[in-house]
Structure 1
Amino acid sequence: MNDPSTERLYHRAARPPWREILSHRWSGTRDWSLVLRDADGDYFLLGVPGEPEEAGAYVPPPDEAAAPGLGGDYAEVFRVDVTEHEDTQAVGLPTVYGRESVDLWVAWWVRDPVRVVRTRTLHGWHMVRTHLTSSLHHLAEAQAASGNGLGAPEIMQYLGAPQHLEETGLSYRVLDVRLRDTGEELRLGQDEGDGVRYSWTTSRRGEYEFCLQALRAGPASLAALWLLRHPDQVRQVLDWAVDHETLLTPARTDWQEELASLLGTLTDQERKEISYLLRDRISALGRPVPGVPL
């Protein structure tokens, strides 16, 4: 992790320009680039601009400077750090369970060394964090306006690709979204009390369906789910199951009681017709029926 208060993206070289040019060419390094400025204010670049291979296809930065020559008349020489840096931004995401604290792991790098020197961007993480904060707020507002929530999948979808800060020559992308415990964080969206619709994202539909099935399955399913989330409370769950046996055991039905209840709702004529049908059926089985000769 870098300390943004002390990390500098470029340093003014003390050696003569020609020696810096030869040093860079002989070293073959990709960790730093050489930016030179002549007396007329024109800039020259020696070295490949920083662009991590896994960040995607390389896109040349705008206004790409020409390579310097050994015989040039240069007034200033700068060594620019073009390695990839990693920092984190704490974010609070709204969910139906309350605020979810996460860390956004961010990779950032110098995409245009000349632009960094020209704009005197000494500390890159401050610029990246400012742009990231603005992007997150815009993303949260757009998701809310469309009736969707903002979670880790949405952040990775929109900010996982390289984001270019053309005005300063920097680029960044979100590498990962991880849960965190405590600390200062950027709060996005609205709290649960302002509306549940901001909390349910597309990625949580499966979680919703699972909870719905657990509720439909009844108290036994909910008790098992509780025990799964709290395995240290086996005794409490067992005590609850014993005290609420009627909830966990389906009620037994007595067909005779149900039939008697049904007959009680019939009219006299309906009961008489059923008694005739029942008498004929019993008689056909060879059983003696009162009033019917064998």
Structure 2
Amino acid sequence: MNDEASERLYHRASKPPWREILSHRWSAAKDWSLVLKDGTGDYFLLGRRGDPEDVGAYVPVPDEAAAPALGGTYTEAFRVDGTEHVDTRAVGLPTVYGTESVDLWVSWWVHDPVRVVRTRTVHGWHVVRTHLTASLHHLAEAQMVAGNGLGAPEIMQHLGMAQRMEETGLSYRVFDVRLRESGEELLLGQEEGEGVRYSWTPSRRGEYEFCLQALHAGPVSLAALWLLRHPDQVRQVLDWAVDHPTLLSPPRTDWQEELAALLGTLTDQERKEISYILRDRISALGRPVPSAPL
């Protein structure tokens, strides 16, 4: 991860420009580019433009600066970071279970070193994070208007490819979405106090089946699911379980036990009348019954 307080995207070179040109050419450096400026304010670039090779197909950007000549008259030289950086953005996604906390893993890099120097973009992650936040809000609003949910598949579909910020010369992409446990996060798709707006999509069929099974399993399954999503509420769940024992352990509906319990509440006269009725019924079935006392 990057520490914005100490890491800079470019540094003003301390050696004379002609020596920086030689240094870059001799080293065949790929982790930094050299940007030079002459007395008229024109910029020159020695290095590569575009995306890192591991991002996918290399897509160069249009050349806006010529390559410097060793004998040119340059007043300033800048070394620009050409490596790929990785940072995370905490996000809260609305689901049927409540807000799901995830980390978006973001890869970002300089695709135009000259534009970085021109705009004086010293710390890149702040710029990328701001653009990513705006993109996520726009995506959440578009999904809501379409009546669809917003989850990892939608984020990867729309932000998994390189996102260019031409005005600053930076690019980024979201390459993974992982569950997280805690921390400051950006809430998407709902306002504070608003219920979760959610529509089932094919990518969430598994979630639907899971919820359906949990509902069929009854209160025990739902209580366990709640505790899984809110592990800090163990005491509340236990108090609820003590106050609602019949929901977690419903009484048996064995009619024989209920009938035996009912017979125990009858008076002697009621039991005698029941015995006469029972004797007549058994006799009608052709079974021998004891004689009635005189």
Residue of structure 1 equivalent to 2:185? 185
Q: CA deviation at 1:211?
A: 3.3
Residue 64 of structure 1 aligns to which amino acid in structure 2?
E
Superposed counterparts of 1:123-138, under 5 Å:
123-138=123-138
Q: Residue 145 in 1 paired to residue 139 in 2?
A: no
Identity of aligned residues (%): 72
Residue aligned with 1:198, SS: coil
For residues 115 and 242 of structure 1, the distance between their equivalents in structure 2, rounded to whole angstroms, comes to: 64
**Counterpart in the other structure of 1:265:** none
Alignment of 1:86-165 (within 5 A): 86-165=86-165
Q: Which runs of 5+ in 1 are unaligned?
A: 250-294
How many pairs align?
Answer: 242
| Whole-angstrom distance in 1 between the partners of 2:190 and 2:15 | 55
Structure 2: gaps spanning 5 or more residues:
229-240, 255-294
Residue 257 (structure 2) aligns with: none
1:40 and 2:40 correspond: yes
Q: Does 1:49 align with 2:49?
A: yes
- Pairwise CA distance, 1:75: 0.9
Distance apart, 1:246 and its partner CA: 4.7
Specify whether residues 245 and 5 from structure 1 end up closer, same or farther in structure 2 by C-alpha distance, changes over 3 A only.
same
- Runs of 4 or more, structure 1, over 4 Å off, are 213-216, 222-231, 239-247
CA RMSD of aligned residues (A): 3.0
Residue aligning to 1:206: 206
Checking the alignment, whether the CA contact within 8 Å between 1:106 and 1:172 is kept in structure 2 is: yes
Superposed CA deviations along residues 191-225 of structure 1, whole A, max 9, x for unmatched, are 69745443645422222134335655x66xx8689
| Residue in 1 that maps onto 2:232 | none
Corresponding residue for 2:59?
59
Q: Compared with structure 1, are the counterparts of its residues 59 and 202 closer, same or farther at alpha carbon in structure 2 (3 Å cutoff)?
A: same
Q: Give how far 1:41 is off.
A: 1.3
What is the alpha-carbon distance in structure 1 between the residues aligned to residue 93 and residue 249 of structure 2? 39
3-state DSSP class of the match of 1:2?
coil
1:240-269 deviation digits (Å, cap 9, x = unpaired): 99954757x9xxxxxxxxxxxxxxxxxxxx
> For residues 99 and 242 of structure 1, what CA distance do their matches in structure 2 show?
26
Superposition map of 1:4-83 within 5 A = 4-49=4-49, 51-83=51-83
Change (3 A) 1:20 1:103: same
Asked whether the equivalents of residues 105 and 174 of structure 1 are also in contact (C-alpha less than 8 Å), the reply is: yes
Cα distance in 2 between the residues matched to 1:131 and 1:229:
35
* Conserved 8 A contact 1:151-1:201: no
Asked whether the equivalents of residues 92 and 99 of structure 1 are also in contact (C-alpha less than 8 Å), the reply is yes
Cα separation, 1, equivalents of 2:192 and 2:95: 7
**3-state DSSP of counterpart to 2:101:** strand
Q: Separation in 2 of the partners of 1:51 and 1:94?
A: 33
**What one-letter code is carried by the residue in structure 2 that aligns with 1:9?**
L
Distance in 2 (alpha carbons) for counterparts of 1:45 and 1:34: 6
Q: CA deviation at 1:14?
A: 1.4
Query: Aligned to 2:94, what secondary structure does the other structure show?
Result: strand
C-alpha deviation, 1:98, in angstroms: 1.3
- The answer to whether the 8 A contact 1:94-1:199 is kept is no
